[in-house]
């Protein structure tokens, strides 16, 4: 039986491994800092849990393997510049933007994009790291080291943030989870909730957008599309060519979770429409210590990543799924988490049907 190698051994790799196990798939996440030489077989399959990696013997072996699924797409989406170009080329709505070049200046940014402009580094940004606000009222200039390495985006005054997670098989078959509503605080995802009836009218529009991308790129596996909702419109914020934090709730709330779907798709196993089991919510554990008392809560599932706890660092998540909204409400009441969690918990409670 061939092996499924994962470039990267963080939490996403661990959860891919967990999802592959009952399918009889040997999933092996590889630490990007590992100094090992891997013994790869020609019929092994390679995927990645991250968009970028340093060059080591192992990462080079994996990245040059014939069965690295989506190898050509990765660099296209890992760089925000080419990602934005793809969105423009496919006429998919996204926040107005321009590339920050060596001769770019803030006057141009304010003139073309308005008085608040968000610079995002082209590569390597996550959890809102790699962002820099330009504010006309404060006369902010573009720092030299951002020139040539970033894009500038209009500040979007969105109603809320939603995401769509979909999977595409080798034969082009596609399946999507219901849209997820997401709460970011300071650029980092704190909570998600899905499904929501009120987002249903946007579902087919979102699916058509992500389908166009996945089909054009002949993408295989799970892809996530983060959007801003402005009224009835969706603007794509960014794409992730991999399993995504806003799809973690599917571990509790869907018959086939996003991790299993990714494993199935890239190894060529059959796909099926996932059955949605109930109302789901997800809370990211960011910079908080492990507390096994959480496990007393009905409907709660804990995922702890075994990472060193640091402020602002995602170290785990909690999933909740139930068909009884009272169970979910009381689960939220029982969570005792520090600032800024009260905001995230209140947001979930407000959005429960
Ligand atoms: P992720 O961890 O999702 O990969 P990231 O660091 O790649 O995050 P983005 O998703 O681009 O960054 O931005 C993080 C958050 O910052 C968004 O979810 C949103 O809340 C806010 N944000 C991003 N772009 C804009 C924008 N143009 N206008 C207003 N807010 C924005
Ligand atoms: Mg991102
Ligand atoms: Mg994002």
Q: Residue 237 Cα, ligand 1 centroid: separation in angstroms?
A: 7
Give the whole-angstrom CA distance, residue 244 versus residue 177. 12
Here the CATH number for the domain that contains residue 25 is: 3.40.50.20
Note down the domain range covering 20: 3-68
Residue 79 in domain? no
* Residues found in the chain: 353
Are 164 and 304 in the same domain?
Answer: yes
Residue 78 in domain? no
Spatial neighbors of 22 by CB under 8 A, at least 6 apart, are: none
User: Quick check: CB of 238 below 6 Å from ligand 1?
Assistant: yes
Residues 87, 190, 209: CA angle, nearest 5 degrees: 20
Q: Residue 142 Cα, ligand 3 centroid: separation in angstroms?
A: 22
Give the whole-angstrom CA distance, residue 88 versus residue 49. 26
- Report the range of poorest mean pLDDT among 123-132, 206-215, 276-285: 123-132
Q: In DSSP terms, which residues pair with 5 in a beta bridge?
A: 28, 46
ipTM comes to 0.98
Are 268 and 302 in the same domain?
Answer: yes
Please state the domain count of the chain.
Answer: 3
Q: Whose CA is nearest to atom 17 of ligand 1?
A: 187
Please write down the long-range contacts of 236-240, taking CB distance under 8 Å and 24 or more positions apart.
Answer: 236/87, 236/92, 236/93, 236/94, 236/209, 237/94, 237/95, 237/156, 237/161, 238/80, 238/83, 239/77, 239/83, 239/213, 240/51, 240/77
User: Quick check: CB of 126 below 6 Å from ligand 1?
Assistant: yes
Mutate to test the pocket of ligand 1, among 187, 236, 238 (most ligand atoms within 8 A of CB): 187
User: Quick check: CB of 153 below 6 Å from ligand 1?
Assistant: yes
Q: Residue 224 Cα, ligand 3 centroid: separation in angstroms?
A: 10
Of 218, 250, 215, 262, whose CA–CA distance to 45 is shortest? 262
Of 226, 261, 248, whose CA–CA distance to 77 is shortest? 226
Q: In DSSP terms, which residues pair with 302 in a beta bridge?
A: 318
Specify the ligand 1 atom closest to the Cα of 158.
29
| pLDDT for res 292 | 97
Q: In DSSP terms, which residues pair with 135 in a beta bridge?
A: 116
Q: Residue 164 Cα, ligand 2 centroid: separation in angstroms?
A: 14
Are 116 and 174 in the same domain?
Answer: no
The pLDDT-based confidence of 128 (bands split at 50, 70, 90) is confident
Question: Average pLDDT of 208-227?
Answer: 98
User: Quick check: CB of 51 below 6 Å from ligand 1?
Assistant: no
CB 251 within 8 A of CB 303: yes
User: Quick check: CB of 120 below 6 Å from ligand 1?
Assistant: yes
| pLDDT for res 1 | 66
Spatial neighbors of 96 by CB under 8 A, at least 6 apart, are: 112, 113, 153, 154
Give the whole-angstrom CA distance, residue 13 versus residue 55. 18
Give the whole-angstrom CA distance, residue 15 versus residue 72. 24
CB 93 within 8 A of CB 233: yes
Of 154, 169, 198, the last residue of a domain is 154
Give the whole-angstrom CA distance, residue 291 versus residue 304. 10
Which 8-state DSSP code applies to residue 155? P
Residue 76 in domain? no
Q: Residue 279 Cα, ligand 3 centroid: separation in angstroms?
A: 23
Are 219 and 252 in the same domain?
Answer: yes
Q: In DSSP terms, which residues pair with 282 in a beta bridge?
A: 192, 319
User: Quick check: CB of 187 below 6 Å from ligand 1?
Assistant: yes
Of 52, 68, 84, the last residue of a domain is 68
73-97 pLDDT per residue, tens: 999 999 999 999 999 999 999 999 9
The pLDDT-based confidence of 189 (bands split at 50, 70, 90) is very high
Query: Whole-model pTM?
Result: 0.97
User: Quick check: CB of 182 below 6 Å from ligand 1?
Assistant: no
Mutate to test the pocket of ligand 1, among 109, 128, 245 (most ligand atoms within 8 A of CB): 128
| pLDDT for res 52 | 87
Of 107, 237, 215, 216, whose CA–CA distance to 163 is shortest? 237
| pLDDT for res 200 | 98
Of 113, 83, 87, whose CA–CA distance to 98 is shortest? 113
Q: Residue 238 Cα, ligand 2 centroid: separation in angstroms?
A: 6
274-301 pLDDT per residue, tens: 999 999 999 999 999 999 999 999 999 9
Residue 51 in domain? yes
Are 270 and 175 in the same domain?
Answer: yes
Q: Whose CA is nearest to atom 22 of ligand 1?
A: 187
Mutate to test the pocket of ligand 1, among 79, 119, 131, 242 (most ligand atoms within 8 A of CB): 131
Q: Residue 268 Cα, ligand 1 centroid: separation in angstroms?
A: 33
Residue 221 in domain? yes
């Amino acid at each position: 039986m061939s092996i499924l190698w994962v470039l990267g051994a963080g939490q996403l790799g661990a959860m891919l491994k967990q999802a592959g196990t009952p399918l009889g798939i040997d999933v092996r996440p590889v630490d990007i800092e590992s100094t090992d030489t891997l013994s790869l077989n020609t019929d092994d399959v390679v995927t990645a849990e991250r968009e970028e990696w340093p060059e080591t013997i192992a990462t080079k072996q994996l990245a040059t393997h014939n069965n690295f699924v989506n190898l050509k797409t990765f660099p296209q989406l890992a760089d925000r510049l080419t990602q934005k170009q793809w969105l423009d080329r496919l006429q998919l709505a996204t926040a107005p933007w321009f590339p920050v070049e060596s001769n770019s200046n803030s006057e141009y940014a304010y003139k073309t994009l308005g008085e608040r402009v968000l610079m995002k580094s082209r590569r390597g940004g996550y959890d809102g790291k790699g962002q820099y606000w330009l504010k006309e009222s404060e006369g902010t200039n573009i720092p030299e080291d951002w020139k040539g390495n970033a894009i500038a985006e209009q500040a979007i005054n969105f109603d809320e943030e939603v995401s769509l997670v979909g999977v595409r098989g080798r034969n082009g078959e596609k399946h999507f989870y219901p849209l997820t509503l997401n709460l970011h605080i300071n650029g980092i995802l704190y909570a998600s909730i899905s499904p929501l009836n009120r987002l249903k009218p946007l579902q087919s529009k979102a699916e058509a957008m992500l389908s166009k991308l996945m089909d054009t790129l002949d993408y295989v596996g799970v892809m996530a599309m983060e959007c801003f909702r402005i009224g009835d419109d969706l603007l794509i914020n960014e794409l992730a060519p991999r399993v995504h934090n806003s799809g973690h709730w599917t571990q509790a709330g869907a018959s086939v979770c996003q991790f299993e779907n990714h494993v199935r798709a890239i190894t060529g196993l059959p796909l099926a429409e996932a059955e949605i089991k109930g109302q789901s919510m997800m809370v990211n554990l960011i910079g908080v210590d492990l507390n096994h008392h959480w496990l007393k809560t009905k409907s709660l599932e804990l995922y702890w990543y075994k990472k060193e706890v640091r402020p602002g660092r995602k170290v785990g998540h909690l999933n909740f799924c139930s068909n009884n909204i009272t169970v979910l409400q009381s689960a939220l009441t029982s969570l005792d988490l520090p600032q800024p969690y009260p905001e995230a918990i209140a947001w979930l409670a407000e959005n429960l049907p």
